[in-house]
Amino acid sequence: MCEVFGYIFGSLRSSEKAVQSIQRTLKHQRSFNRNVAVLAIAMTAYMVTNEIDRKKQNKKIEELSNEIKELRRLEGE
């Protein structure tokens, strides 16, 4: 009877150690996933702001190009 209890509790102890190891691994994975998510959000925000700036620059270039064309046209008349 004592051997049976020893086997059961020994098996439970090894299972608890395995579960603790898995919990530790999941904790580190959660931290890594959070860092990756923050990096992804930061990169997305950078890409969006960069695209907005690019569109503003293209619009400004187009306006200046039209202004140059207008000035050339006025000089030619």
User: pLDDT per residue over 23-63, tens digit each?
Assistant: 999 999 999 999 999 999 999 999 999 999 999 999 999 99
Q: What is the largest CA-CA distance in the chain?
A: 113
How much is the pLDDT for 77?
Answer: 63
- Cα–Cα distance measured from residue 58 to residue 50, given in angstroms and rounded to the nearest whole number: 12
- One-letter amino acid at 14 equals S
The CA distances from residue 47 to 8, 29, 43, in Å, are: 57, 27, 6
